[in-house]
C-alpha cells in the first residue's frame, strides 16, 4: 500500500552501483492528511522517481510500496505518520532498448568512458572499478582520462620549462606525488611495485625532456602532446590494476599503439579507421582480455608520432573505439544526469531528455548545449551504436540515450514523441544585413558576400535570405563583426556608391535561440507554436532560419531578450497546456484553507488530469512570498512568516504574471477588501484570470460592475466567483445554467447567510444571542467583521449579486434591509468592542425569539430577489416549524429558485453555506473550472 504524505525528514540511504537495488527506507515522516509524497516542491505518488540526497549526491528512488505507522511530531504536535517505503532503484548499465538491438546484432563489447572528475581521487577510481565490474557484458573496453587537473598540470610543466622557470621540477614532483599516493591507496603487492617503477621511469624520462625544452626555450607540438599524454597512461594503468585485483582478466592499452589519426587542422584530427582496426586486431591478438582499460585523448599519426585528439579528446576516443569494436553501447560517464531540454541555469523547468537522435544531439551541441561534440557522434552514428550519457555521481538516474531516431517507426510511439526536444542558445553574435535592389537576380552576389567574409577568417553561424533577394542577412561572432563589416564595405564599395547596394548594416548584441527536434520535420504547426510563444512574451524576432531538414528552427533575438525567449518557448513546449500560475491574495481563513487543499490535491490533479497548479505567490497585508517555480505548499506558512518580504501588490502581480512563462495566470482574491476588488478590471485587461469569494466587486457600484462584466464577456479572460453566494454550494453556476439554457427566473428566496442560519438554528434553550454570535465567528462562518452579517449587509450583497446575474440593475442601497446590529453598536471602532458590548442586547433578541415560538414559528433571516418586480429584500421572518426554511441545521443555506420551468416544485439547493472547508472548496472548484475552460481533460 502506498499511502499519502510528504517527506519531512531527509533520507540517508546509500545506493551502491548495483544493477537492481532493493532498499527499505524508513523514518520518512509524513503528514496524515496527504495523498502523495512531496519533496522540494514536487509531489510524488506510487511509481514515480523521487530524488533524494545521500552522501552529498542526488539519487532517485522509485516508490513501490509503503506502510504507515503513526507518530506525533514533537515540533508542532501535529499527528504525523511514519512512512516506510520499499523502493527499488533500477540502474541498468546497459539500456534495455539498446540491449535488444545488441542481441540481434550479436555485439559483445560495451564501451565506457570516464572523464577526469570520474577518476579524480582514489575513492572515485574505486567507484569506477565497481561500475566496470558490475557490467555484465562479455567484453568491456574502458576509455579513461587523466585524473582531474593532471592534464593542466602537464601543460603547466611544459609552459614552465619553455619559459625557463625552474619551478617545473617542483611541479613535476607534485605530479609524481599525486600518482604515487593514489596508487598506494588503491594497489598493493606486485601491482603497486610494477606501477611505481614504471611511474618513476616515466617521470625520469619526462624530466630529461623538460630539461631539453628548458634549454631550447621552445617546444614542438608533438613533444607537447607526448608530455601531456602521460596523465592518461598513469590513470589507465592504476585502474587496470585495480580491476585485476577483483580477479577479472584486465589489460591496459596505450592507445597510441592502436589509434591512428591524421591531423587536419590545429584543433581537429581525422581517424584512420582501416589502419586503426588492423592495429587493434593485432594488439588484441597479443593482449586478449575480458576488460581493456584504454587511454583516452592520445593517439598516433600514421608516422607513429604521438599526438592527441584535441578538444573533447576522450569522448572522441571512446566513440572511435566503440566504432572499431562495433560496440553495443558507448556510455559516457559524466557529472550531470543527462542532456537537458535547455540550460538548467537559465530555465529552472528544464528536464533531462531520455532519448535524443544523433541528429538532435548534434544540433543541440552545435548550439551550445552541453552535449557531446558533434565529432564524437560521427563514428558511432555510422554503425548505429547508441551513446548513453550517465551521471557517475547519481547511478540511479537513467541518463540520456543518443541513438538512431525511431520517430514515426516505433509502433508504441503512437505519435507521442514530442516534436521539439530541446532549446539552445548562442550569445555574443552580431547580424549583418546586406541590402539593395541591385542584388536580385544577380548571380554571384552571395558568393561575393561570403567570399569577403571568408577572407577575414570569420565564421558564419546562420544565414537567411528572403526569396525577393533584396537582402542577405547572416550572423557572425560579435568579435569578428568589425572586420567583416570593413571587408564587405570595401568589397561592395562601388555597388554602394552606385546605389545597387543600399546598406551593409550591423545589428550588434544578438543571440541565437535554436529549437531542435527531429520530429519537427513534417509536423505542421511547430513553428506556429514557437512564434506564438515568442509573440506572447513580447519578443521581437530579428531573423529566422530553418533548413529543409527541419531539425532546427533558429531565430535571432536581442541578447537582452534571449533568456526570456528561451523560457517562453521552453514553457510552451514542455509545460502542460493547463499549467496555471497562481497568486493567492489574503491567506486568512479561506485563503489558508485553500492553500492547504491545493497542497493535498495538486499531485493528483497533475497526474490524472494534467492540471499543473503552481502557486507562485502568496500575499497578505504585510508580507508576501514569491517563487519562480511554485511555492512548496507544505511550508508556505513558515516561508511567509520567516522569509516573507514586504507586501507590494504591484510587484506581486508582476511576479505572478510576468516573471516566467507559464501560459496562464490567475489571481485568487481571498480578502474582503474593496480596494483589491477594484483591480479586477485591470487584471482581466492584462489577460489575468480572476477567481474570488470576495463579494465586493459584484455588489459594488453598478457602473463598475457592468464595466467588469462587459470586459469579461469580450476578453476570453475568465472571472469566477461561485463562493460569493452560498460558499461552495452551486448557486451561481445553477443560476447561470438556468439563464443560459433559456429559463426565466421569477423569484429567488433563500437563507443566504451561514452565520445567521447558524445563529437562528442554535439560538434556542438557554443560549444567549451574543454567545451564539461568538460561536459562529469561532467556527469561521462570519465575515471578518460579524456586523457585516448581522447588519444584513452580507446577505444584501448576495441578493444584489444574484439580482444582477438575473439582469436587474440594482445598487446595494436599493435593497431594503432589516439590520440586526443594535443601533449603538454600529459605530464601535473594533470587532472586539462590538462582541464585548453585544450581550447588553441579548434581552431584545430573546423577546423576539419568544414571540415567534409562542406562535409555533421560528425566526429566519432571509433574502429575496423578486425578479418580476425588480426588487430585493432582506428581512427577519418567522416560518411555521414544518416549513423547509425552518428545518435547517448548522450553517445551512437554502436557496429556492422559482422559474418558468421550476414553477410548482421549486429548484432548491441546500447545504452548509459558510465555513473554511466548504468555501475554500468552492474557490478550488472555480480554479478547476478555469483549468477546464483552458483545455484540461474532463
Ligand X SMILES: NC(=O)C1=CN([C@@H]2O[C@H](COP(=O)(O)OP(=O)(O)OC[C@H]3O[C@@H](n4cnc5c(N)ncnc54)[C@H](O)[C@@H]3O)[C@@H](O)[C@H]2O)C=CC1
- Residue ranges that bind ligand LTNE7NMQ, judged by CB under 6 A: 727, 753-755, 781-783, 789, 794, 913-914
**Closest to ligand LTNE7NMQ by CB, 119 or 914:** 914
Closest distance to Na ion from the beta carbon of 734 (Å) = 9
Vertex 198: Cα angle to 197 and 200 (nearest 5): 65
**Closest to ligand LTNE7NMQ by CB, 222 or 877:** 877
Closest distance to Na ion from the beta carbon of 693 (Å) = 9
Closest distance to ligand LTNE7NMQ from the beta carbon of 756 (Å) = 7
Q: Which does 755 bind (CB under 5 to 8 A by kind): ligand LTNE7NMQ, ligand X, Na ion, none?
A: ligand LTNE7NMQ
Vertex 557: Cα angle to 551 and 561 (nearest 5): 120
Q: Which does 780 bind (CB under 5 to 8 A by kind): ligand X, Na ion, ligand LTNE7NMQ, none?
A: ligand X
**Closest to ligand X by CB, 896 or 920:** 920
Q: Which does 671 bind (CB under 5 to 8 A by kind): Na ion, ligand LTNE7NMQ, ligand X, none?
A: ligand X
Q: Which does 731 bind (CB under 5 to 8 A by kind): ligand LTNE7NMQ, ligand X, Na ion, none?
A: Na ion
Cell of 346: 537559465
Q: Determine the Cα–Cα distance for residues 514 and 527; give it in Å rounded to an integer.
A: 12
Closest distance to ligand X from the beta carbon of 681 (Å) = 16
Closest distance to ligand X from the beta carbon of 677 (Å) = 9
Q: Which does 307 bind (CB under 5 to 8 A by kind): ligand LTNE7NMQ, Na ion, ligand X, none?
A: none
Q: Collapsing DSSP states into helix, strand and coil, what is residue 798?
A: helix
Tell me the residue nearest to ligand X as measured from the CB: 588
Vertex 455: Cα angle to 449 and 460 (nearest 5): 60
**Closest to Na ion by CB, 322 or 922:** 922
Asked if residue 384 lies in contact with residue 404, where contact means CB atoms within 8 angstroms, the answer is yes
Asked if residue 748 lies in contact with residue 802, where contact means CB atoms within 8 angstroms, the answer is yes
Q: Determine the Cα–Cα distance for residues 491 and 499; give it in Å rounded to an integer.
A: 14
Tell me the residue nearest to ligand LTNE7NMQ as measured from the CB: 755
Residue 932 CB contacts under 8 Å (≥ 6 apart), including other chains: 938
**Closest to ligand X by CB, 424 or 923:** 923
Q: Determine the Cα–Cα distance for residues 495 and 265; give it in Å rounded to an integer.
A: 36
Q: Which of residues 684-723 bind Na ion (CB under 5 A)?
A: 722
Q: Which runs of consecutive H residues, i.e. helices, occur in 229-312?
A: 230-245, 273-286
Q: Determine the Cα–Cα distance for residues 290 and 108; give it in Å rounded to an integer.
A: 10
**Closest to ligand LTNE7NMQ by CB, 375 or 695:** 695
Closest distance to ligand X from the beta carbon of 722 (Å) = 10
**Closest to ligand LTNE7NMQ by CB, 191 or 789:** 789
Q: Which of residues 727-746 bind Na ion (CB under 5 A)?
A: 729, 731
Q: What's the length of the chain?
A: 938
Residue 799 CB contacts under 8 Å (≥ 6 apart), including other chains: 752, 815, 863, 864, 865, 872, 873, 874
Q: Has 310 been annotated as catalytic?
A: no
The closest of 112, 116, 114 to 140, measured between CA atoms, is 112
Q: Which does 317 bind (CB under 5 to 8 A by kind): ligand LTNE7NMQ, ligand X, Na ion, none?
A: none
**Closest to ligand LTNE7NMQ by CB, 679 or 753:** 753
Cell of 474: 547572416
**Closest to ligand LTNE7NMQ by CB, 253 or 801:** 801
Cα-Cα-Cα-Cα dihedral sign, residues 366, 367, 368, 371: negative
**The residue to which cell 546509500 is assigned:** 14
Asked if residue 352 lies in contact with residue 400, where contact means CB atoms within 8 angstroms, the answer is yes
The closest of 515, 516, 506, 446 to 475, measured between CA atoms, is 506
Q: Which does 753 bind (CB under 5 to 8 A by kind): ligand X, ligand LTNE7NMQ, Na ion, none?
A: ligand LTNE7NMQ
Closest distance to ligand X from the beta carbon of 757 (Å) = 11
Q: Determine the Cα–Cα distance for residues 862 and 855; give it in Å rounded to an integer.
A: 19
The closest of 838, 808, 833 to 821, measured between CA atoms, is 838
The closest of 61, 42, 21, 56 to 397, measured between CA atoms, is 61
Q: Which does 892 bind (CB under 5 to 8 A by kind): ligand X, Na ion, ligand LTNE7NMQ, none?
A: none
Closest distance to ligand LTNE7NMQ from the beta carbon of 727 (Å) = 5
Closest distance to ligand X from the beta carbon of 919 (Å) = 4
- The single-letter DSSP state of residue 924 is H
Per the residue annotation, which of 798, 837, 880, 898 is the catalytic one?
798
Choices 56-64, 286-294, 691-699, 725-733; region in contact with Na ion by CB under 5 A: 725-733
Q: Which does 115 bind (CB under 5 to 8 A by kind): ligand LTNE7NMQ, Na ion, ligand X, none?
A: none
**Closest to ligand LTNE7NMQ by CB, 312 or 789:** 789
Q: Which does 276 bind (CB under 5 to 8 A by kind): ligand LTNE7NMQ, ligand X, Na ion, none?
A: none
Vertex 673: Cα angle to 920 and 611 (nearest 5): 35
Asked if residue 815 lies in contact with residue 831, where contact means CB atoms within 8 angstroms, the answer is no
Q: Which does 5 bind (CB under 5 to 8 A by kind): ligand LTNE7NMQ, Na ion, ligand X, none?
A: none
- Residue 433 belongs to what H/E stretch? strand 422-435
Q: Which does 722 bind (CB under 5 to 8 A by kind): Na ion, ligand LTNE7NMQ, ligand X, none?
A: Na ion
What is the DSSP secondary-structure string of 729-763? SSSHHHHHHHHHTT--EEEEEEE--HHHHHHHHH-
Closest distance to ligand X from the beta carbon of 776 (Å) = 10
Q: Determine the Cα–Cα distance for residues 922 and 920; give it in Å rounded to an integer.
A: 5
For residue 441, how many other CB atoms are within 10 A of its CB? 7
- Residue ranges with strand state E in 101-249: 109-114, 139-144
Closest distance to ligand X from the beta carbon of 627 (Å) = 17
**Closest to Na ion by CB, 729 or 838:** 729
CA distances from 132 to 47, 140, 143, 268 (A): 29, 8, 11, 30
**Closest to ligand LTNE7NMQ by CB, 269 or 918:** 918
**Closest to ligand X by CB, 209 or 909:** 909
Asked if residue 704 lies in contact with residue 675, where contact means CB atoms within 8 angstroms, the answer is no
Q: Which does 439 bind (CB under 5 to 8 A by kind): ligand X, ligand LTNE7NMQ, Na ion, none?
A: none
Closest distance to ligand LTNE7NMQ from the beta carbon of 926 (Å) = 14
Closest distance to ligand LTNE7NMQ from the beta carbon of 793 (Å) = 10
Which position among 726, 780, 863, 912 is part of the footprint of Na ion (CB under 5 A)?
Answer: 726
- The single-letter DSSP state of residue 445 is H
Q: Collapsing DSSP states into helix, strand and coil, what is residue 67?
A: strand
Tell me the residue nearest to Na ion as measured from the CB: 726
The β-bridge partners of 23 are 87
Contact flag: residue 894 with Na ion (CB under 5 A) = no
The closest of 465, 467, 466 to 475, measured between CA atoms, is 465
Vertex 634: Cα angle to 633 and 636 (nearest 5): 55
Binding site for ligand X (CB under 6 A): 585-591, 619-621, 670-673, 675-676, 693-695, 723, 727, 754, 780-781, 783-784, 914-915, 919
**Active-site residue set:** 798
For binding to Na ion (CB under 5 A), which residues are involved? 722, 726, 729, 731
Amino acid at each position: 500500500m502506498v499511502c499519502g504524505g510528504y517527506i519531512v525528514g531527509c533520507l540517508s540511504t546509500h545506493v551502491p552501483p548495483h544493477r537492481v537495488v532493493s532498499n527499505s527506507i524508513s523514518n520518512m515522516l509524513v503528514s496524515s492528511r496527504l495523498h502523495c509524497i512531496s519533496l522540494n516542491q514536487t509531489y510524488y505518488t506510487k511509481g514515480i522517481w523521487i530524488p533524494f540526497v545521500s552522501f552529498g549526491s542526488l539519487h532517485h528512488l522509485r516508490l513501490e510500496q509503503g506502510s504507515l505507522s503513526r507518530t506525533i511530531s514533537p515540533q508542532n504536535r501535529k499527528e504525523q505518520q511514519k512512512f516506510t517505503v520499499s523502493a527499488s532503484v533500477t540502474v541498468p548499465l546497459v539500456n534495455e532498448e539498446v540491449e535488444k538491438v545488441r542481441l540481434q546484432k550479436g555485439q559483445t563489447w560495451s564501451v565506457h568512458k570516464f572523464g577526469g572528475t570520474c577518476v579524480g581521487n582514489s575513492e572515485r577510481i574505486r567507484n569506477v572499478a565497481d561500475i566496470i565490474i558490475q557490467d555484465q557484458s562479455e567484453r568491456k573496453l574502458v576509455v579513461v582520462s587523466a585524473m582531474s587537473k593532471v592534464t593542466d598540470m602537464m601543460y603547466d610543466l611544459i609552459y614552465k620549462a619553455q619559459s625557463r622557470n625552474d619551478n617545473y621540477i617542483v611541479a613535476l614532483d607534485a605530479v609524481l606525488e599525486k600518482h604515487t599516493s593514489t596508487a598506494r591507496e588503491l594497489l598493493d603487492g606486485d601491482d603497486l611495485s610494477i606501477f611505481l617503477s614504471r611511474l618513476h621511469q616515466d617521470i625520469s624520462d619526462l624530466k630529461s625532456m623538460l630539461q631539453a625544452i628548458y634549454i631550447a626555450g621552445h617546444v614542438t607540438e608533438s613533444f607537447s602532446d607526448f608530455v601531456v599524454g602521460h596523465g592518461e597512461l598513469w590513470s589507465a594503468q592504476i585502474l587496470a590494476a585495480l580491476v585485476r585485483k577483483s580477479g577479472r582478466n584486465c589489460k591496459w592499452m596505450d592507445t597510441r599503439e592502436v589509434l591512428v589519426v591524421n591531423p587536419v587542422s590545429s584543433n581537429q584530427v581525422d581517424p584512420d579507421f582501416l589502419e586503426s582496426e588492423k592495429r587493434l586486431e593485432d594488439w588484441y591478438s597479443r593482449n586478449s582480455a575480458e576488460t581493456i582499460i584504454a587511454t583516452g585523448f592520445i593517439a598516433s599519426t600514421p608516422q607513429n608520432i604521438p599526438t592527441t585528439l584535441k578538444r573533447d579528446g576522450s569522448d572522441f576516443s571512446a566513440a572511435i573505439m566503440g566504432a572499431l569494436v562495433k560496440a553495443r553501447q558507448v556510455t559516457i560517464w559524466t557529472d550531470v544526469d543527462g542532456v537537458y531540454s535547455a540550460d538548467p541555469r537559465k530555465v529552472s523547468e528544464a528536464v533531462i531528455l531520455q532519448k535524443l537522435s544523433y541528429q538532435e544531439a548534434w544540433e543541440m551541441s552545435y548550439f551550445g548545449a552541453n552535449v557531446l561534440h558533434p565529432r564524437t557522434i560521427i563514428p558511432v552514428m555510422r554503425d548505429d551504436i547508441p551513446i548513453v550519457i550517465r551521471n557517475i555521481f547519481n547511478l540511479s538516474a537513467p541518463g540520456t540515450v543518443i541513438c538512431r531516431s525511431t520517430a514515426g517507426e516505433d509502433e508504441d510511439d503512437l505519435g507521442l514523441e514530442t516534436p521539439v526536444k530541446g532549446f539552445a542558445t548562442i550569445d555574443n553574435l552580431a547580424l549583418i544585413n546586406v541590402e539593395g535592389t541591385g542584388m536580385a537576380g544577380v548571380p554571384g552576389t552571395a558568393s561575393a558576400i561570403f567570399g569577403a567574409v571568408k577572407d577575414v577568417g570569420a565564421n558564419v553561424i546562420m544565414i537567411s535570405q528572403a526569396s525577393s533577394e533584396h537582402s542577405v542577412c547572416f550572423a557572425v561572432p560579435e568579435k569578428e563583426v568589425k572586420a567583416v563589416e570593413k571587408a564587405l564595405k570595401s568589397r561592395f564599395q562601388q555597388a554602394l556608391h552606385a546605389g545597387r547596394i543600399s546598406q551593409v548594416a550591423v545589428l550588434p548584441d544578438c543571440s541565437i535561440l535554436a529549437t531542435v527536434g527531429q520530429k519537427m520535420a513534417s509536423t505542421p504547426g511547430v513553428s506556429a507554436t514557437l512564434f506564438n510563444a515568442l509573440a506572447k512574451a513580447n519578443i521581437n524576432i530579428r531573423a529566422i532560419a530553418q533548413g529543409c531538414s527541419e531539425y532546427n528552427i533558429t531565430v535571432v533575438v536581442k541578447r537582452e531578450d534571449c533568456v526570456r525567449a528561451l523560457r517562453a518557448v521552453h514553457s510552451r513546449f514542455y509545460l502542460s497546456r493547463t499549467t496555471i500560475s497562481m497568486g493567492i491574495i489574503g491567506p486568512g481563513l479561506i485563503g489558508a484553507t485553500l492553500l492547504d487543499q491545493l497542497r493535498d490535491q495538486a499531485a493528483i490533479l497533475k497526474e490524472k488530469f494534467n492540471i499543473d497548479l503552481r502557486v507562485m505567490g502568496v500575499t497578505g497585508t504585510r508580507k508576501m512570498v514569491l517563487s519562480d517555480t511554485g511555492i512548496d505548499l507544505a511550508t508556505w506558512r513558515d516561508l511567509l512568516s520567516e522569509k516573507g518580504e514586504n507586501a507590494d501588490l504591484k510587484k506581486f502581480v508582476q511576479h505572478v504574471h510576468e516573471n516566467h512563462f507559464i501560459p496562464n495566470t490567475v489571481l485568487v482574491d481571498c480578502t474582503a477588501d474593496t480596494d483589491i476588488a477594484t483591480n479586477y478590471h485591470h487584471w482581466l485587461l492584462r489577460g489575468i484570470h480572476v477567481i474570488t469569494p470576495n463579494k465586493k466587486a459584484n455588489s459594488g457600484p453598478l457602473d463598475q460592475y457592468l464595466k467588469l462584466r462587459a470586459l469579461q464577456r469580450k476578453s476570453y479572460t475568465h472571472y469566477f466567483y461561485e463562493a460569493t453566494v452560498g460558499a461552495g454550494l452551486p448557486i451561481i453556476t445553477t443560476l447561470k445554467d438556468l439563464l443560459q439554457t433559456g429559463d426565466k427566473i421569477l423569484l429567488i428566496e433563500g437563507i443566504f447567510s451561514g452565520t445567521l442560519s447558524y445563529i437562528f438554528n442554535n439560538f434556542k434553550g438557554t443560549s444567549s444571542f451574543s454567545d451564539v454570535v461568538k460561536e459562529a465567528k469561532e467556527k469561521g462562518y462570519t465575515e471578518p467583521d460579524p456586523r457585516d452579517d448581522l447588519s444584513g449587509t452580507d446577505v444584501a450583497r448576495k441578493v444584489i449579486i444574484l439580482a444582477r446575474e438575473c439582469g436587474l440593475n440594482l445598487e446595494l442601497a436599493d435593497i431594503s434591509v432589516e439590520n440586526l446590529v443594535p443601533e449603538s453598536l454600529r459605530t464601535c471602532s473594533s470587532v472586539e468592542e462590538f462582541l464585548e458590548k453585544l450581550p447588553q442586547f441579548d434581552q431584545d433578541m430573546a423577546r423576539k425569539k419568544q414571540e415567534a415560538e409562542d406562535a409555533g414559528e421560528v425566526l429566519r433571516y432571509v433574502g429575496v430577489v423578486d425578479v418580476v418586480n425588480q426588487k430585493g429584500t432582506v428581512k427577519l421572518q418567522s416560518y411555521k416549524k414544518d416549513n423547509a426554511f425552518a428545518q435547517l441545521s448548522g450553517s445551512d443555506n437554502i436557496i429556492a429558485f422559482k422559474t418558468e420551468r421550476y414553477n410548482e416544485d421549486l429548484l432548491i439547493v441546500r447545504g452548509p453555506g459558510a465555513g473554511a472547508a466548504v468555501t475554500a472548496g468552492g474557490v478550488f472548484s472555480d480554479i478547476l473550472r478555469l483549468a477546464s475552460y483552458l483545455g484540461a481533460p474532463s
